[in-house]
Chains A and B, each alone.
Chain A
Amino acid sequence: MPEMTYSQAINEALREEMRRDDKVFIMGEDVGIFGGCFGVTTGMIDEFGPERVLDTPISETAIMGSAVGAAAAGLRPVPEIMFMDFLAVCLDELVNQAAKMRYMFGGKAKVPLTLRTVLGAGLGAAAQHSQSLEAWICHVPGLKVVMPSTAADAKGLLKSAIRDDNPVVFLEHKMMYAMSGEVPDGDYTIPLGKAEIKRAGKDVTIVATSLMVHKALAAAETLAAEGIEAEVIDPRTLVPFDKETLFQSVEKTGRLVIVHEAVKTGGFGGEIAAMVAEECFDMLDAPIKRVAAPSTPIPFASNLESAFIPNEEKIIEAVKAIL
């Protein structure tokens, strides 16, 4: 299997889907000549031309709204919103238009678009370029939400997202673009709604999303040295959510720690905790713990930003608190 970065895996998935289906096109701020703010779409304009790799003005509302219109009219747009924080500028188009068209038109419309956007802190980009707002999106019926944590997952899930007939929000973590991993060759897809056990263990279940999967794995290694075997589960897609894999794990371990980079209040971790409390309360041997960012805007100074982001130590502390 070839080794490539998360960024290259996304680029490859986009290219493969554009070669496979000429209704797929990408659009967004600086995605063309510039190759994307993080370089993810580098070189795509050379292969597909400006007709299918569209630089847009700084107009998130027009990007999102025209993608919805184009999707309803039969294309498969892959718009990019440069930072997830900017979704606040075009939420109507996502929440009131894309998400609801099928339902409110009685099942007679399809909006097959894949919105790619970038979340996460760690670059010192401060309060308006670092948020993890996936809980907002998960709260809206009609949208699917994907959060890959490895290059292989990014490729396999993005290809499935583009082929999906629903609006899918595909969330890339900016601190993972340079991470490398093995990516299967060929037409590699991963179904949406399928979690992966990233590390097997019997003592505690750690559910983590996006970059936090790597921190959870690091924490699990440290815990293993102390004889504690943590099972790390990456849901990979939050909507639809693979309850089965999670519940099976909780049944085995009886303990659950949930880790996400988003702020704790109203975060998706609350939803995961509630699912387990409602449906497998009897399997639990200890209270559920959440490791998440504090409910503050994201600070600029490096030391403050580091204190904001959940880390290995906090995960270990949470695990030990319920063992």
Chain B
Amino acid sequence: MALDKEEMLELYRKMCLIREFEETVSKFFSQGQIPGFVHLYIGEEAVATGVCANLVKQDFIASTHRGHGHGIARGASINKMMAEIFGKVDGYCKGKGGSMHIADVELGFLGANGIVGAGLPLAAGAAFANKYLNNNGVSVCFFGDGASNRATFHEALNLASIWKLPVVFVNENNMYGISMSQERHQNITDIADRAVAYGIPGVSIDGNDVMAVYEATAEAVKRARAGAGPTLIECKTYRHHGHFEGDPTVYRSEDEVNQWKKKDPIPRFGARLLEMKIMTQDEIAAIADEVKREIEEAVAFAQRSPVPAVEELLTDVYCD
């Protein structure tokens, strides 16, 4: 399914929105205005954007600790996301979740997750629900290269394969599990190779090419909706920042970071759109202005919002 001009522009705009969101979070975090841990998606925007462009209402995504990009790509409110990250009552979780627990179940966003690899069986379960309800929905699980070493990966892929669940496992291989490089944490180069163990298709693609991500996901989603079961897509990508904000990144070289910055998915897709004459320099500038304004509004919304009332401590533990 080829994308039209508007859809391609939207992919570009969405990646810019994620980037601007994350750079803004980085700025406020370094100023001490955001508590806790934040893990930023800068450099990986093409994955969430290309994947989520294939999803419809009844679909689910399960995300990770590095989840802001997934939420934005799925269409979550950036105001509520920003307010949540600031720990404010108008945030998605009333300030009770924070960066690692932003969720919008109504929107099919089953949440970021503070446990590496926890999303895999959750996504399999949501896919089971879609299949059980026969609503043609699919479920997507984002997870990192580090998570591919967890038992959840094996158990979820095995279960999804035998039950032919409509799920797409999207591995974001950013080459590091916290400080441990892929070559140190596993004895394979392509995580997609692991699909063989479950008798499902596995593809390894350039995760910094939003069109490649879009197309690989389109194929996997089509397969899932048709009842043919899960697919494992490995997207090779890179996080420009450390594992968390404040990570001294002693485990990787400046040179490596610079090499990857040359493959930055946003200018890369921008250049392609210019070349295809789908977008003009003026439009690039206009998109940059537009997302900047949107994020400024989100920050203003977050800053305006009060902190949760102390009584909130004791609510929402159980449903009534």
| Residues of A near any B CB (own CB < 8 A) | 25, 51, 54, 56-57, 59, 61-62, 64-75, 77, 92-93, 96-97, 101-110, 112, 141-142, 144, 164-166
How many residues of chain B have a CB within 8 Å of chain A?
A: 47
Residues of B within 8 A of A73 (CB): 60, 110, 125-126, 129-130, 139
Residues of B within 8 A of A104 (CB): 93, 96-97, 101, 103, 111
Q: By the criterion CB–CB under 8 Å, are B125 and A66 in contact? A: yes
CA distance A93 to B156 in the complex (A): 12
**Which residue on chain A has the smallest CB distance to residue B130?**
A73
Q: By the criterion CB–CB under 8 Å, are B316 and A103 in contact? A: yes
Q: Distance in Å from the Cβ of A51 to the closest Cβ of chain B? A: 7
Q: By the criterion CB–CB under 8 Å, are A93 and B128 in contact? A: no
Q: By the criterion CB–CB under 8 Å, are B132 and A96 in contact? A: no
Q: By the criterion CB–CB under 8 Å, are B319 and A102 in contact? A: yes
Q: By the criterion CB–CB under 8 Å, are A59 and B317 in contact? A: no
Stretch at the interface among B113-121, B176-184, B273-281, B294-302: B113-121
Decide yes or no: A106 and B316 within 8 Å by CB, A57-B158, A74-B133 being known contacts: yes
Q: By the criterion CB–CB under 8 Å, are A51 and B132 in contact? A: yes
Q: Please tell me which one of the listed residues A70, A92, A102 contacts residue B125 in the complex, with CB atoms under 8 A apart.
A: A70
**Which residue on chain B has the smallest CB distance to residue A61?**
B155
Decide yes or no: A69 and B129 within 8 Å by CB, A101-B111, A106-B316, A142-B318 being known contacts: yes
Q: Please tell me which one of the listed residues A66, A96, A109, A164 contacts residue B128 in the complex, with CB atoms under 8 A apart.
A: A66
**Which residue on chain A has the smallest CB distance to residue B84?**
A106
CA distance A105 to B105 in the complex (A): 9
CA distance A69 to B109 in the complex (A): 11
Q: By the criterion CB–CB under 8 Å, are A69 and B123 in contact? A: yes
Q: Please tell me which one of the listed residues B94, B103, B104, B151 contacts residue A61 in the complex, with CB atoms under 8 A apart.
A: B151
List which B279-313 residues lie within 8 A (CB) of chain A. Answer: none
Residues of B within 8 A of A72 (CB): 105, 110, 122, 125-126
Q: Please tell me which one of the listed residues A51, A59, A92, A166 contacts residue B115 in the complex, with CB atoms under 8 A apart.
A: A92
Q: Please tell me which one of the listed residues A56, A68, A106, A108 contacts residue B159 in the complex, with CB atoms under 8 A apart.
A: A56
CA distance A66 to B124 in the complex (A): 6
CA distance A57 to B124 in the complex (A): 14
CA distance A25 to B128 in the complex (A): 11
Q: By the criterion CB–CB under 8 Å, are A69 and B155 in contact? A: no
Q: Distance in Å from the Cβ of B314 to the closest Cβ of chain A? A: 10
**Which residue on chain B has the smallest CB distance to residue A101?**
B111
Further 18 A-B residue pairs, CB within 8 A, beyond A69-B124, A74-B133: A51-B132, A61-B155, A62-B124, A65-B122, A68-B125, A69-B126, A70-B126, A72-B126, A75-B128, A75-B132, A97-B115, A102-B316, A102-B319, A105-B105, A108-B92, A144-B318, A164-B319, A166-B319
**Which residue on chain B has the smallest CB distance to residue A240?**
B318
CA distance A113 to B128 in the complex (A): 14
**Which residue on chain A has the smallest CB distance to residue B62?**
A69
Q: By the criterion CB–CB under 8 Å, are B152 and A105 in contact? A: no
A-B pairs with beta carbons under 8 Å apart, 7 shown:
A68-B121, A69-B122, A73-B110, A104-B96, A105-B93, A106-B95, A142-B318
CA distance A120 to B316 in the complex (A): 32
**Which residue on chain B has the smallest CB distance to residue A74?**
B129
CA distance A108 to B316 in the complex (A): 8
Residue of B104, B121, B126 ringed by the most chain A CB atoms within 10 A: B121
CA distance A105 to B152 in the complex (A): 22
CA distance A92 to B150 in the complex (A): 12
Q: By the criterion CB–CB under 8 Å, are B129 and A166 in contact? A: no
Residues of A within 8 A of B139 (CB): 69, 73
CA distance A162 to B115 in the complex (A): 27
Q: Distance in Å from the Cβ of A239 to the closest Cβ of chain B? A: 9
Q: By the criterion CB–CB under 8 Å, are A67 and B125 in contact? A: yes
Residue of A66, A70, A97, A110 ringed by the most chain B CB atoms within 10 A: A66
CA distance A96 to B111 in the complex (A): 13
**B257 within 8 Å of A (CB atoms):** no
Q: Please tell me which one of the listed residues B104, B128, B317 contacts residue A142 in the complex, with CB atoms under 8 A apart.
A: B317
Decide yes or no: A69 and B110 within 8 Å by CB, A142-B318, A165-B319 being known contacts: yes
Q: By the criterion CB–CB under 8 Å, are A96 and B114 in contact? A: yes
Q: Distance in Å from the Cβ of A211 to the closest Cβ of chain B? A: 28
Can you list, as one digit per residue, whether each of B35-74 has a CB less than 8 Å from chain A (1) or not (0)?
0000000000000000000000000101000000000000
CA distance A54 to B94 in the complex (A): 37
**Which residue on chain B has the smallest CB distance to residue A107?**
B316
List which B73-114 residues lie within 8 A (CB) of chain A. Answer: 91-97, 101, 103-106, 110-111, 113-114
Q: By the criterion CB–CB under 8 Å, are A66 and B121 in contact? A: yes
Q: By the criterion CB–CB under 8 Å, are A106 and B96 in contact? A: yes
Q: By the criterion CB–CB under 8 Å, are B159 and A109 in contact? A: no
**B315 within 8 Å of A (CB atoms):** yes
Q: Distance in Å from the Cβ of B55 to the closest Cβ of chain A? A: 14
CA distance A77 to B125 in the complex (A): 10
CA distance A158 to B104 in the complex (A): 30
Q: Distance in Å from the Cβ of A185 to the closest Cβ of chain B? A: 29
